[in-house]
Structure 1
Amino acid sequence: MTAVDVAAPGTRRWGRRAVWTAAGSWLLLVAAHRVLSGRAWWWNLPDLLPPLLFAVVPVLLLALVPLARRDTAAGTARARTAGAALALGALALGWPAAGVNAAALWHRPPPAPPDALRIFSWNTWYWDQLLATGPDGERVTDPDRFYRYLHTRAADVYLLQEYLYIDTVDYDPIRLDDLARIRREFPGYHVAVSGELVTISRYPIVGDHPLDLRPWLARRWSDLPPADSSLPAYHTVKTLRTDLLVGGRVLSVYNAHLHVPPVGLPARHPDTADDGLARHDLRRAGYRAIAADVDGNPHPVLLAGDLNTSPAMGLLHALPDRLVDATGALDSAYPVSWARYGLPLWRLDWVFASPDVAVHRYRMVAPDGLSDHHGQHVVVSLRPRHEA
């Protein structure tokens, strides 16, 4: 009696159908995701899938392929081949969304020259507001600890997001004015601020350009920004471009913190800038504003920040082709920048550079309990003009 004959016909049919159904359904979901992510606002829930699932699920399906059996040995072979083909197709199609950095196995960035720039990008998690617990359990500020952490980064350029406090009841942004402390902590540095974004640079800032996303919206939202907001630019400027004078050349650095994805169906507040359709529109407009500005910018470019976009989200492809993902310079095969409830989850923070910017080192930096985001430390230099 062969192994094929051991299982009862009903069991064979169940195993075959289960494998084919699971593998085929996952392949269809991955194909739909590649088409709809970043384009259809109502695809927001699949957009929130953990990126690693796009690699793990097909591998698990491949492990289940032996369950696919037919009444003959030849039929079993065909059933298993079909199941494996579906799982491998899903793996190949979903691999770009999985967030795996295979380049870490072979890519070795070029050594940094002595005049390379050290850049630190970080979502601060409401600046120094949520850093300590008061006697009654309330969260209180701890500015000294916050600035000590920044100094340990020893950067030439700081790209900091969430330069604001937050109303912990309504989660409305509260304007923060810490410029005097910033200038004391970083004497000789130059500072540019727009809304929640602050750039601190040892190199002269010869121009700063907040990118207003409203011209790039698909429709007008009457409450953008909210009439009662104490920080209107928080809602409309999600990227701050600063032009730095570096060795006689200009480097344009884009400090970005894009809107968070919409969560759930149906929309929470219809016809306002807080519903699902509007949130999708705001995210796309943020990317369009960056793309338009970069396309018209003759200078070398570096974009860094919290894009609120996982590797699984198709909006990343809205960035212009001129910008090259610096992920290959990371030494991690699965980079993670965002944690929740003490668990490292996936990546939301990115660095991109134009080809005339060489990336020599790039790593995620633990926030030491100060934020739910890792910082990004990147060392770059401007390529000679004849190499650009």
Structure 2
Amino acid sequence: MTGGTGTATRPRDARRAARAGRRVPVVLPAAAGWLAFVALHRVLSGRVWWWQVPELVPPLAFVAVPVLLLAAVAAARRARRTAAVTAAVMGLASLVLGGGAGGLNLAALWHRAAPAPPGAITVFSWNTWYWDQPAAGGRSMPPPAGTPARDADAFYRYLRDQHADVLLLQEYVYFGPDARPIRVDDRDRLRREFPGYQIATASELVTLSRFPIVRQQGMDLRPWAADPRDTPVPPGAGWPEFYTVKTLRTDVRAGGRTISFYNAHINSPVDPSSRGLSPGRLDRVQHEARRANLRALAADIRANPLPAVLAGDFNASPAMGIMRLVPERMADAVPALPSLYPATWDERWPWWRIDWAFTSPEIAVHRYRLVRSLGRSDHSGQHLVISLAR
């Protein structure tokens, strides 16, 4: 009986070993292909316009795919050693090379921010999704099913509930049925809702400050465009500034110091007049406009000796190399965010982070959290508590 059992076991072991042996030849080309993709992504992302479609890969894939490849190799324990080791090395290489694009916030595991001192400043940044425009008012992109009807009173109540000293708000704009932007002037109501606050506006950006505003300036992308033809202003546009100014700098006087707040809404890689992600709408003009806006922003920050906060909607995930244009002086505030995988968009299916917050070395970040908009926008808001560290 014993001999019979051993005889029956050996064929089963042989079949398992054969299946394991077949698994690595499948994993090996997959690992090689993914490593090649990651290497190309590191070189091309943010540099050439025609890589914009691969850039739409969810950031988490840069971590998940190598882990799955390594798991497949580990499951094939009896495979040929050379093939298994080669596949494992390529999986590890792709993880090391692309892991930083995965959007993981590992610092959340150990980072402990210092308590906020007296006089700390509360900042709220949010893409409002066409301000308080009613859903029936002709949005170019209708809200998802189940989204509550837009209520201006509820919109302003949500803003007040953030109890922010400085609010950096994007999409201060309406859109008509033809996808054309419509200028908004809600300053009278803003003054009523936020008594004592000062207001700065440029293009579709508005900054509210409880502190005195000593300077405001919109950043025009045109001097920074590689080619004047790359300015994304459609023919006959009645409001060219909407297309050429995507960052508002506002200097405020707080606690005896002046701080620069940069309110940013960098161009989407998708043509705003399109209704989908068709490759024809991911064009060179949009790519160059994004680069020009970030160049203009970076040049101003480098020349600015003041402490600075930069926040807003960058329309760029952690996997998009265009974020390397943010100057090194500005540090990502994400370590203070208690989330391993921060995702700010889309609130219906939060795939990735495209809303960012950065601070210069003189600024300490004591708290950073994402605020759900509860159907008021497709973006989560960013709520920070900061102080001047030195």
Q: Same fold (TM over 0.5)?
A: yes
- Residues of 2 paired with 1:173 and 1:82: CA distance? 54
Q: Which runs of 5+ in 1 are unaligned?
A: 269-274
In percent, how many aligned pairs have the same letter? 51
1:108 lines up with 2:112 in the alignment: yes
Deviation at 1:225, TM superposition (A): 2.8
Counterpart in 2 of 1:122?
126
1:99 lines up with 2:89 in the alignment: no
Deviation per residue, 1:122-154 (Å, 9 max, x gap): 0000001145899xx999652111001001101
Which of 356, 365, 371 in structure 2 is aligned with 1:359?
365
1:293-304 counterparts in 2 under 5 A?
A: 293-304=300-311
Residue type at the aligned position of 1:53: A
TM-score when normalising by structure 2: 0.89
Which of 322, 330, 345 in structure 2 is aligned with 1:315?
322
1:164 lines up with 2:169 in the alignment: no
What SS does the corresponding residue of 1:338 show, helix, strand or coil? Answer: coil
Task: Assess if the C-alpha contact under 8 Å between 2:232 and 2:243 holds in 1.
Answer: yes
Residue type at the aligned position of 2:314: L
What SS does the corresponding residue of 1:250 show, helix, strand or coil? Answer: strand
- Residues of 1 paired with 2:20 and 2:316: CA distance? 42
- Residues of 2 paired with 1:125 and 1:133: CA distance? 13
Q: Which runs of 5+ in 2 are unaligned?
A: 1-9, 139-144, 272-276
1:218 lines up with 2:222 in the alignment: no
- Residues of 2 paired with 1:8 and 1:142: CA distance? 64
Deviation per residue, 1:320-361 (Å, 9 max, x gap): 111111110100000010116x21111000000100011110
Deviation at 1:317, TM superposition (A): 0.9
Deviation per residue, 1:4-28 (Å, 9 max, x gap): 743586x666423211000110011
- Residues of 2 paired with 1:311 and 1:266: CA distance? 21
- Residues of 2 paired with 1:193 and 1:285: CA distance? 21
Deviation per residue, 1:169-196 (Å, 9 max, x gap): 3221111111110111111100000010
Counterpart in 2 of 1:376?
382
Instruction: Check 1:50–1:314 CA distance in 2 against 1; reply closer, same or farther (3 A cut).
Output: same
Deviation at 1:89, TM superposition (A): 1.1
1:251 lines up with 2:259 in the alignment: yes
Which of 231, 249, 269 in structure 2 is aligned with 1:241?
249
1:151 lines up with 2:160 in the alignment: yes
1:82 lines up with 2:90 in the alignment: no
- Residues of 1 paired with 2:169 and 2:293: CA distance? 17
Aligned residue-pair number: 369
RMSD of equivalent CA atoms: 2.4
Instruction: Check 1:141–1:365 CA distance in 2 against 1; reply closer, same or farther (3 A cut).
Output: closer
Task: Assess if the C-alpha contact under 8 Å between 2:363 and 2:388 holds in 1.
Answer: yes
TM-score when normalising by structure 1: 0.89
- Residues of 2 paired with 1:4 and 1:85: CA distance? 27
Deviation at 1:231, TM superposition (A): 2.7
What SS does the corresponding residue of 2:161 show, helix, strand or coil? Answer: helix
Task: Assess if the C-alpha contact under 8 Å between 1:307 and 1:349 holds in 2.
Answer: yes
